[in-house]
């Protein structure tokens, strides 16, 4: 049986969300190297979706190991689009194998693609819920007292 509860977040995601509870920080996770690449089997709408995702997120959000997950999302997006377009022209009920009317298979394709997009979108930080807790790391302001420590007595101003 697997672990209970939500999957733990990476230390980088925790840093983006902040640490209001002042909990102990975990050490940084392993960061894969290499830039994200577009798999050569993607074409058409799936390729465009892949390019849009990578361009929309901040630089260095994804690495080469994320290409598979982004590709899964992109293919699901292309399938969802194709099914939605097909349902504009085809009837909701079509003749089945036994002659009776059955639900158009495009509904199942669209539903499965939407389910996969929701799961992968959450993992990739693509949906509003996944982005809601994220913020850019704050720039640390320099204190007006920075530089005083370590000054020699001759440089300090007298009272």
Convert the pLDDT of each residue in 4-56 to its tens digit: 777 777 777 777 777 777 777 777 667 778 899 999 999 999 999 999 999 99
Residue 66 CA to residue 54 CA, distance in Å, equals 10
Residue 130 has pLDDT above 60, yes or no: yes
Q: For the whole model, what pTM was predicted?
A: 0.69
Please tell me the predicted confidence (pLDDT) of residue 113: 98
SS3 61: coil
Most distant CA pair in the chain, distance: 99
Burial class (CB in 10 A: 0-12, 13-18, 19+), 113: buried
Please tell me the predicted confidence (pLDDT) of residue 55: 94
Q: Per residue in 43-81, pLDDT tens?
A: 999 999 999 999 998 887 888 999 999 999 999 999 999
Residue 153 CA to residue 156 CA, distance in Å, equals 5
Q: Per residue in 68-127, pLDDT tens?
A: 999 999 999 999 999 999 999 999 999 999 989 999 999 999 999 999 999 999 888 887
Please tell me the predicted confidence (pLDDT) of residue 139: 56
Residue 42 CA to residue 116 CA, distance in Å, equals 17
Residue 38 CA to residue 42 CA, distance in Å, equals 7
Domain ranges for the chain = 36-127
17-24 contacts, C-beta under 8 A, 24 or more apart: 17/133, 17/134, 17/135, 18/135
Cα 71 → chain centroid: 12
Q: Which residue has the higher pLDDT, 155 or 141?
A: 141
């Amino acid at each position: 049986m697997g672990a209970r509860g939500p999957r733990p977040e990476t230390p980088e995601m925790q840093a983006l969300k902040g640490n209001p509870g002042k909990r102990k920080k975990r050490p940084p996770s392993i960061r894969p190297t290499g830039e994200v690449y577009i798999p050569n089997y993607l074409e058409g709408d799936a390729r465009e979706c892949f390019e849009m995702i990578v361009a929309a997120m901040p630089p260095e959000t994804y690495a080469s190991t994320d290409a598979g997950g982004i590709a899964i999302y992109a293919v699901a997006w292309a399938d969802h689009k194709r099914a939605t377009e097909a349902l504009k022209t085809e009837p909701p009920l079509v003749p089945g194998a036994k002659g009776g009317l059955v639900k158009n298979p495009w509904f199942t394709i669209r539903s499965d693609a939407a389910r996969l997009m929701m799961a992968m979108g959450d993992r990739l930080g693509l949906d509003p819920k996944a982005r809601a807790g994220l913020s850019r790391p704050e720039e640390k302001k320099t204190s007006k007292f920075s530089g005083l420590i370590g000054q020699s007595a001759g440089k300090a101003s007298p009272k």
